[in-house]
């Protein structure tokens, strides 16, 4: 309110010189006949009234604008908080420990239960089953690296894994030969997944993977874009 009064005074100050209360030219104010003519009579207070009205209008305008902005900020913050809570990223490898050992071969296709966890943000990867259950729908980046070692040249080498969603193969990797001792393969895809989808890596029947603390066999995924 102090600012309003000051504004009023500043506004009318230049007009003050037109009034000469001491001099002979002093003009007596007309009688106030109606509210419409009030401004002709007392311009000073009239200007001040206008200023107060204008200030109130601006106050309401800024208040409404601020309230709307606060509401928008709140919405944006809620979206941000939700997104922050829906962070999903995991990266795992076949074994913990240093000992070189192999996984498989098995008589049937087998879901690989990776045991070494680098990160499991959102706890969507289940170490006991090897299954990543999608909690938040969206676009995910997924990658699988596989490695095997035949033990010595001439032995059968069979690196064959596949990335599966709900039991359906999305992408596979395959290296079968008798010529070299080691082989590795990679699968990297981006997929749109829905909540509840079950993602896993299967080792094909008769194939096998080998690893040690070098972590040649990894399975990783992270949420790239969450559905709105
Ligand atoms: C500003 O707006 C809020 C909510 O719309 C209201 O509660 C508050 O009294 C207003 N303040 C002023 C100074 O107009
Ligand atoms: C955003 O929302 C969170 C949780 O509701 C709250 O703790 C935080 O203070 C909010 N931040 C802002 C800038 O409003």
pLDDT at 165: 98
Sign of CA dihedral 145, 175, 103, 189: positive
Residue located nearest, by CA, to atom 8 of ligand 2 = 77
> Which positions ≥6 away from 94 have C-beta within 8 Å?
103, 112, 114, 115, 116, 209, 211, 215, 216, 217, 218
pLDDT in tens, 120-170: 999 999 999 999 999 999 999 999 999 998 877 777 888 999 999 999 999
Which residues does ligand 1 sit against, CB inside 6 Å?
59-60, 63, 67
Helices 2-12 and 43-85 cross at an angle (nearest 10°) of: 140
Find the angle CA(25)-CA(30)-CA(33) to the nearest 5 degrees.
175
Q: Which ligand is nearest to the CA of 57?
A: 1
Q: Which ligand is nearest to the CA of 75?
A: 2
> Which positions ≥6 away from 117 have C-beta within 8 Å?
90, 91, 92, 125, 127
Report residue 219: phi and psi, to 5°: -140, 120
pLDDT in tens, 162-217: 999 999 999 998 888 767 888 899 999 999 999 999 999 999 999 999 999 999 99
Report residue 130: phi and psi, to 5°: 80, 10
Name the residue of 77, 78, 83, 84 to mutate for ligand 2: max ligand atoms within 8 A of Cβ: 77
């Amino acid at each position: 309110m102090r600012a309003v009064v000051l504004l009023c005074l500043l506004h009318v100050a230049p007009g003050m010189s037109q009034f000469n209360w001491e001099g002979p030219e002093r003009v007596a104010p007309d009688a106030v006949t109606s509210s419409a003519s009030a401004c002709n009579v007392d311009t000073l207070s009239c200007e001040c009234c206008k200023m107060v009205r204008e200030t109130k209008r601006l106050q309401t305008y800024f208040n409404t604008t601020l309230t709307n902005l606060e509401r928008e900020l709140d919405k944006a913050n809620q979206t941000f908080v939700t997104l922050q809570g829906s962070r999903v990223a995991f990266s795992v490898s076949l074994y913990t420990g240093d000992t070189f050992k192999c996984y498989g071969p098995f008589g049937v296709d087998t879901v690989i239960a990776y045991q070494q966890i680098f990160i499991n943000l959102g706890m969507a990867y289940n170490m006991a089953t090897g299954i990543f259950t999608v909690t938040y729908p969206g676009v995910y980046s997924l990658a699988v690296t596989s490695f095997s070692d035949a033990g010595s040249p001439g032995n059968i080498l069979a690196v064959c894994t596949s990335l599966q969603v709900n039991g359906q193969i999305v992408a596979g990797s395959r290296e079968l030969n008798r010529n070299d001792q080691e082989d590795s393969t990679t699968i990297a895809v981006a997929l749109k997944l829905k909540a509840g989808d079950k993602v896993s890596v299967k080792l094909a029947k008769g194939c096998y993977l080998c690893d040690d603390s070098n972590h040649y066999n990894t399975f990783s995924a992270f949420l790239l874009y969450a559905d709105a």
